[in-house]
Amino acid sequence: MYYPLLRARQFELIALRDLANTGASQGCIVPILEPVKESFNNLKIALTTFASRNQQAVLLVNPIVGDLYGDHALILDYLQQGNFPVTRAFYYRNNTTYILDSIEEYNLQNCMIICQNDINPDDVRFKDLIESEAVQLIVVEDPGRNRALDRYVRNLDKTYIRLDDFFEKQQRNSDFLDIQEHRFSEEHLHYLNENFNGFSDYTVLPSEYSDSGSTPRAVVIHLTYMKGDNQIWIRHFTSDTNDSIANVQGKFAEAAEKAVQFCRGNNLNNAAIAELEDYYNRQHYPGLGTVKKISLKNHLLIVQDYLSHH
Amino acid sequence: MNRYDEDWFENNNSSFLEYLRYIYKILENNYQNEYVFKNSFLNEILINDIISGDSKVFSEFRIGNAVADLVLFNGTSKVFEIKTEMDSAKRLDIQLKNYRTAFNEIYLIIPESKSKEYTYLEQEIGIITYQPNDLEKFKITRKATSNETVDPNVIMEVFHTNEYKGLVLEYFGSLPRMTSFNQFEKCKELILQIPNHILNSYFISIMKRRQKQVAIAKKHYKEFNQISLALKLTTTERKELIGLLKSPIKQTPYVLSTA
C-alpha cells in the first residue's frame, strides 16, 4: 500500500478527487493529508468524494506546518461533526498525553502515529502510546537512520510504514534546467520484502512547507515514469526563457513542449499526461496549480499502475 | 538590544506598539537603516500626494534585473534609490541602468555625510540628501532631468497579462488572434508599434491603476507608514495591525527576548 503524504491544499485535493472519482486509487493508494489552511471548503469536498467512492484516507489532526499548527482539537472536532470515515493520524513529538487524551475523548480506534527517526524507543511514554490498542499504523521517517526504533516497531505486529523524502528541491526552478532526469524511488519494489506493510513519501513535491508563492522565473513540469527495471525515474521539463518573471504562459509552453515530446517519444500515457497533452494541443495555459496537479496525478498513477499489477 | 530593553522587561503595562515606537525613535536618532530612511521619506516628502490619491507609490518595484526601493507614479514616473550609511554603491550602476529603461526621473537618496561620494554620477540623476537632525530632513540638492524615453521590452515585462491585453485592446481597438501560449509575443509586437511617449503615459496610468490606495496616516502611528506601504494594507488591515500591537508585551514574554 502506498501512503503519499500531502498537504491538504486545493490542487493536491483536486488530484486526489480526480483519481478517486475514476476508481484509480482505491485499494492501492491511501493519502495522508495534513490540513494547512483555516478554511476546510476544499477538504470537505474531497472527504465527501472519498466517502462516496470508498476511497480510504488518513487525516493528520495536529499539523506541524501551516495555519493549523499544533496539538489541538479543531480537526478532530471537524471530522467528528462531519462523521467522515477517515483514519486519524498524529505527529508524535513528545505529546503522548495529548494523543492519548484525544483518543479517549473522541473514542478513536485504528489511529496512525507519524514518527521522526530521532525517537528513543526506550522512552516509556512513547511506548505507552505506540503499544496502545487504538494505535494500529506507525509511520517512521527514514527508518534506516534509527535501527533501535526500527527493530522495536517491527516487532509490534502493527501496520508499519516507512516514510522517505525523495524530491530534491532546487533553490530556483531554473536550476532544474541542468538536471534532466534521475532515479527517484524504488520503495514500491522493496517494501514488502523488507517487511514493511506500506511506504510513504512526499511524492513529487518538496517536503518543506512554503506558503508564499511568488511568480517563478522558470516553469518546471516534473514527470515520473517507470524505467525498464521498474524503477521510478523523474524527469524535469524546464522552460528555457527564464530571465524575468514575465510571460509565465510562454514558459509553460516551452516546458509543455518538452514534456509532450518526451511522452510521445517514449509512449508514456495516462490520464495526467493526456490532460497535459490536451492543454498543449489547445495551446492553453491552465495555471501553475494545475501544473502541480498534473505532476502529482501522474506520479500517483505510475505507482498505482505498478501496485495494481504486482 | 538588551541595554535599550531593560526598562521594558520591568514595566507591566508596555504594549508592543509602544515598544516598537521606542525602538523606531532609537533607530531614527542613532542608526538610520533602510526602514527608517524610507519611512521618513514617505512622511516628509511623499505623504500629501499619496493621501490625496494623486500619486501611487510602490515599495520594492521590480524592473529588469533590479528592484527599486520606491517608485512613484503621478503625471510622470520617478524612482528613488536609497543608499544608507550601511549600503555600498556596488550595485548602483546596474540599478541605474535598469531604472533608465522605464522611469522618467531618477533620484538617489543618500545621507548628507556621503554626498561627496556620489558626485561622479551623471547630471541627469537627481540627488536628495538626508540629515536626520535638521528640521527639513530631506533636501533636493540636485534636480533630476526628465527622460521620457522608455524601453518597451522592459515595460512589457512589468505588465501583468491583463494589463498588456487591456493596453492592446484600448490602443488598437481589438486583440489579435492568439492563444495563451503566444499572447505575450503577439501583444508585444503590437505594443512595440506604440509611439514611445504615448507608451510612457500608458505605463504610468496602468501602474497607477494597479496600486490600490494604501492606508497611511499623517499623524497617527506614522512610524508604521512604510510597513503599510510594503504590505499594501487597507484601512481595516492597518487598524487591525495597530490593534494587535496595542496588546501588552507581558502576555508572551518570549517574543520580547527574541527582539
Report how far residue A295's alpha carbon sits from residue A297's, in angstroms, rounded to the nearest whole number.
6
User: What's the pLDDT tens digit per position in B17-47?
Assistant: 888 888 888 888 777 788 888 888 888 888 8
Judged by CB atoms closer than 8 Å, whether chains meet at B180 and A245 is answered as: no
Sign of CA dihedral B99, B103, B104, B106: negative
- pLDDT confidence band for B253 (50 / 70 / 90): very low
Residue A189 within a domain: no
The closest alpha carbon to A150, from A116, A184, A125, belongs to: A116
Report how far residue A261's alpha carbon sits from residue A280's, in angstroms, rounded to the nearest whole number.
10
> Does A284 lie at the interface with B, CB-CB under 8 angstroms?
yes
Residue A272 within a domain: yes
Which residue from A244, A252, A285 is facing B157, i.e. has the nearest CB? A244
- In A61-131 the beta strands, taken as DSSP E runs, fall at 87-91, 111-115
Q: What is the pLDDT of residue B12?
A: 61
The CA radius of gyration of chain A, in Å to the nearest whole number, is 20
> Does B151 lie at the interface with A, CB-CB under 8 angstroms?
no
Q: What is the pLDDT of residue B7?
A: 66
Residue A224 within a domain: yes
Nine cell digits for residue A239: 522552460
- pLDDT confidence band for A236 (50 / 70 / 90): very high
Report how far residue A259's alpha carbon sits from residue A257's, in angstroms, rounded to the nearest whole number.
6
DSSP-based three-state secondary structure for B48: helix
> Does A252 lie at the interface with B, CB-CB under 8 angstroms?
yes
> Does B159 lie at the interface with A, CB-CB under 8 angstroms?
yes
Nine cell digits for residue B93: 550602476
Q: Cα distance from A281 to chain B (closest Cα, Å)?
A: 11
Report how far residue B81's alpha carbon sits from residue B161's, in angstroms, rounded to the nearest whole number.
27
Judged by CB atoms closer than 8 Å, whether chains meet at B181 and A246 is answered as: no
ipTM of the shown complex:
0.81
Half-sphere exposure of A300 (CA within 13 A, CB side): 32
**Alpha carbon distances (Å) from B242 to A56, A233, B195, B252:** 46, 51, 47, 17
The answer to whether A164 and A140 have CB atoms below 8 angstroms apart is no
User: What's the pLDDT tens digit per position in B168-184?
Assistant: 999 999 999 999 999 99
> How many domains is chain A partitioned into structurally?
1
The answer to whether A189 and A231 have CB atoms below 8 angstroms apart is yes
Looking at the DSSP bridge assignments, the partners of residue A137 are A112, A159
Looking at the DSSP bridge assignments, the partners of residue B77 are B73
Q: Which domain holds residue A227?
A: 171-183+213-303
- CA dihedral (A82, A88, A93, A99) in degrees, to 10, reads 80
Residue A179 within a domain: yes
The answer to whether A129 and A100 have CB atoms below 8 angstroms apart is yes
Nine cell digits for residue A31: 493519502
Judged by CB atoms closer than 8 Å, whether chains meet at B161 and A252 is answered as: no
The closest alpha carbon to B72, from B188, B168, B214, B195, belongs to: B214
Is residue A133 exposed (0-12), middle (13-18) or buried (19+ Cβ within 10 Å)?
exposed
Residue A139 within a domain: no
Is residue B100 exposed (0-12), middle (13-18) or buried (19+ Cβ within 10 Å)?
buried
> Does B62 lie at the interface with A, CB-CB under 8 angstroms?
yes
**Alpha carbon distances (Å) from A80 to A73, A75, A83:** 10, 8, 5
Residue A117 within a domain: no
- pLDDT confidence band for B258 (50 / 70 / 90): very low
Amino acid letter, residue A136: Q
Chain B residue nearest residue A285, CA to CA: B180
Q: Cα distance from A253 to chain B (closest Cα, Å)?
A: 6
- pLDDT confidence band for B3 (50 / 70 / 90): low
Considering B62-66, B132-136, B196-200, the range whose residues carry the highest mean pLDDT is B196-200
Is residue A277 exposed (0-12), middle (13-18) or buried (19+ Cβ within 10 Å)?
middle
Q: Which residues of A touch B162 (CB under 8 A)?
A: none
- pLDDT confidence band for B250 (50 / 70 / 90): low
The CA radius of gyration of chain B, in Å to the nearest whole number, is 21
Which residue from A244, A247, A284 is facing B179, i.e. has the nearest CB? A284
- Quickly count: other Cβ atoms within 10 Å of residue B192's Cβ: 11
Report how far residue A282's alpha carbon sits from residue B205's, in angstroms, rounded to the nearest whole number.
34
How high is the mean pLDDT of chain B? 86
User: What's the pLDDT tens digit per position in A170-192?
Assistant: 888 999 998 889 999 999 999 99
Asked whether the predicted pLDDT for residue B4 surpasses 80, the reply is no
Nine cell digits for residue A263: 511522452
- CA dihedral (A40, A45, A48, A50) in degrees, to 10, reads -100
Report how far residue B78's alpha carbon sits from residue B105's, in angstroms, rounded to the nearest whole number.
5
Report how far residue A281's alpha carbon sits from residue A278's, in angstroms, rounded to the nearest whole number.
5
Judged by CB atoms closer than 8 Å, whether chains meet at B157 and A245 is answered as: yes
| Cα A293 versus chain centre, distance | 12
